Structure 1
Amino acid sequence: MPRLIRNGAIVEDHGPEVLDLEQWLESTERSSRAVVLEPGESLASLLAHIDEIPMVLVNFPTFMDGRGFSYARELRERGYKGEIRAVGHFLRDQLTYLSRCGFNAFEFDDESELEEALPSLADFSEAYQASVDRPQPLFRRRAK
């Protein structure tokens, strides 16, 4: 069984069947299938079904492609509560930023990286900017 990082722990993957966006939209059993988003795909058609999606996988074809960060942020801001999983080519150094945008699961190509990557979720103890995980910027949080 493949392993990944989910909600801050290394776990075995028992995820649902994964379809690409077009297949998922055409499916009659959406609530039991996950959808994978590729860079450049529009979220508009997916947002109409946000309550039917058990899991969204966001593919990073290269670690320099930042569109996946925006997908996660928009999904969370629109109320998506399910799992958002980063897959593909992302770096362990990006885990903090990915989680701040709304990702809560990380599937590495090489599972041997999981143990070393897990502490990267806590690389930074504080953030100045507002984000999905902390909507108030630091100066607002300190003013209380």
Structure 2
Amino acid sequence: MGDPLRFRDDPAPDEPGVSLDAFLNQKDATSVLLEAGDDVRALLPELGRVRLVEIDFPRFRDGRGFSSASILREAGYTGEIRAIGDVLIDLVFFMRRCGFDSFEPDAPFHPGAVDAALSRYPDVYQSATDGRVPIWALRHPQFATE
């Protein structure tokens, strides 16, 4: 693994993530690593001190990390959320919509593939944490409540 692919302007956190249990027991930790199966809601009371949340994808077909990122963003977390592990380029668009803003995949992404993945779908159909307006709301603004 090399440097993470980041979609943020702030300096990258340099502290490695510790397990959720260790994070909750170490009041000076600022980076946490969520493993598949960890309950991200246990982290919500501590969001004020979190700089980086690394969410591990042990297998690309394990989608629990998508929910974890969405829960964090919906709770108001503005720090970095990094997808690590078996992260596929085909999922980067959807991960960005859920709130991921950095990536550290097992196999590095080709830069052209990242650009293609992020621009493949000009419109979206559902609301998400990225703030993009769904196509139905653009077509029928009188029904949009946001």
Shorter-chain TM-score range: 0.7 to 0.9
1:25 aligns with: 24
Q: Tell me, what secondary structure is at the counterpart of 1:85?
A: strand
Distance 2:121 2:134 in 1: 15
Question: Is the Cα contact below 8 Å between 1:72 and 1:102 reproduced in 2?
Answer: yes
Distance 1:16 1:118 in 2: 26
Question: Is the Cα contact below 8 Å between 1:4 and 1:114 reproduced in 2?
Answer: no
Distance 2:129 2:138 in 1: 15
Within the alignment, does 1:78 sit opposite 2:75 as a pair?
A: yes
Point out where structure 2 has 5 or more consecutive residues left out of the alignment. 142-146
Distance 2:47 2:19 in 1: 15
Question: Is the Cα contact below 8 Å between 2:87 and 2:106 reproduced in 1?
Answer: no
The alignment yields a C-alpha RMSD, in angstroms, of 2.3
The aligned amino acid for 1:63 is F
Q: Normalized against structure 2, the TM-score is what?
A: 0.84
Question: Is the Cα contact below 8 Å between 1:73 and 1:102 reproduced in 2?
Answer: yes
Work out the percentage of aligned pairs sharing the same amino acid: 35
2:144 aligns with: none
Q: Normalized against structure 1, the TM-score is what?
A: 0.86
2:46 aligns with: 49
The aligned amino acid for 2:3 is R
Deviation at 1:2, TM superposition (A): 2.9
Within the alignment, does 1:60 sit opposite 2:53 as a pair?
A: no
Deviation at 1:95, TM superposition (A): 0.3
Question: Is the Cα contact below 8 Å between 1:108 and 1:114 reproduced in 2?
Answer: no
Give 4+ residue runs of structure 1 displaced > 6 Å after superposition.
none
Write 1 or 2 for the structure with the bigger share of strand: 1
The aligned amino acid for 2:111 is E
Distance 2:113 2:13 in 1: 20
Distance 2:110 2:50 in 1: 26
Q: Tell me, what secondary structure is at the counterpart of 1:97?
A: helix
Question: Is the Cα contact below 8 Å between 1:3 and 1:13 reproduced in 2?
Answer: no
User: When the two structures are aligned, how many residues end up with a matched partner?
Assistant: 139
The aligned amino acid for 1:22 is D
Within the alignment, does 1:39 sit opposite 2:36 as a pair?
A: yes
Distance 2:14 2:121 in 1: 29
Distance 2:28 2:113 in 1: 34
